[in-house]
Amino acid sequence: MQTDFDQLNEQIIACRKCPRLAAWREEVARTKRKAYQDWDYWGRPVPGFGDPKARVLVVGLAPGAHGSNRTGRQFTGDASGEFLYPALYRAGFASQPNATSREDGLRLHDMYITASGRCAPPANKPTTEELDHCQPFLEREIEIIKPKVIVVLGRIAFGRVLKIFSRQQTVDDRPLTVHSPRSVVFAHGALYNLNIENGAKGGTDPLITAHWLLCSYHPSQQNTLTGKLTVKMFDAIWSEAKELIHD
């Protein structure tokens, strides 16, 4: 029997809404990088992965051309993942500090990792329209997981999550009115509480679901090699995420 995640991931992998991205990801998968000539590149949209009952949802930018576009798993096989997974391992969210392929045995505990865009974009820059096409996938993941903490890696992921939580929605036929502070701005370590107030269908008493939005710089080499994001700064993010889910 298919789960909600199985159905969603099938939709993600089969998506061809963005001709530019479809052409680029498939070209990269055909030509390959010299170091990975023996690899059978994934070359498709990359679904999220992790614990389906996670309380922490991590949202990145998009797959790397020779990272996730090669391996088929988020943050796997590139420099960003080499910085991310050791931090998650130290914090107890990952079963091992290395992520090399979908068959490497890595397991996530209480965490699910996804991205704003699902296809590798040229120059790592998806367009607004392309991100809009992926937005329903992220919305659906949030609906299924119902995370307590959402950690956004970078300004684009921040904007995408905020877009979801700053407008009226309906989930499972229940109206959701989201109250988002006007002063919400992206900064490393910034933390915001996005309260969802919803009444059960046919009822009068509202139920309050707290979603913590925790911001971090993206673990790209542009940030890690320049010292903009240090190991200590990154470890502090995951320590705070753990505190929030246990509060």
Q: What is residue 209's predicted lDDT score, i.e. its pLDDT?
A: 54
Q: pLDDT band for 172, please (50, 70, 90 cuts).
A: very low
Nearest to 225 by CA among 76, 23, 83: 83
Q: What tokens were used for 47?
A: 């679904």
Query: How far is 53 from 144, CA to CA, in rounded Å?
Result: 9
CA dist 136 to 37, 91, 132, Å? Answer: 34, 30, 8
Whether 221 shows a pLDDT value over 70: the answer reads yes
CB-based burial label for 227 (10 Å; 0-12, 13-18, 19+) = exposed
Whether 171 shows a pLDDT value over 70: the answer reads no
Whether 208 shows a pLDDT value over 80: the answer reads no
pLDDT tens profile 125-143: 999 999 999 999 999 999 9
Domain that holds residue 188: 4-246
Q: What is the mean pLDDT of residues 210-235?
A: 95
Query: How far is 34 from 127, CA to CA, in rounded Å?
Result: 28
Whether 205 shows a pLDDT value over 50: the answer reads no
CA 214 to chain centroid, in Å, comes to 13
Query: How far is 246 from 243, CA to CA, in rounded Å?
Result: 5
* Percent of the chain residues topping a pLDDT of 70: 86
Tally of structural domains, the chain? 1
Q: What is residue 194's predicted lDDT score, i.e. its pLDDT?
A: 78
Q: What is residue 99's predicted lDDT score, i.e. its pLDDT?
A: 97
**How far apart, in Å, do the first and last CA atoms of the chain sit?**
35
Dihedral sign computed on CA atoms, order 138, 148, 161, 215: negative
Instruction: Read off the CATH number of the domain in which 100 is found.
Output: 3.40.470.10
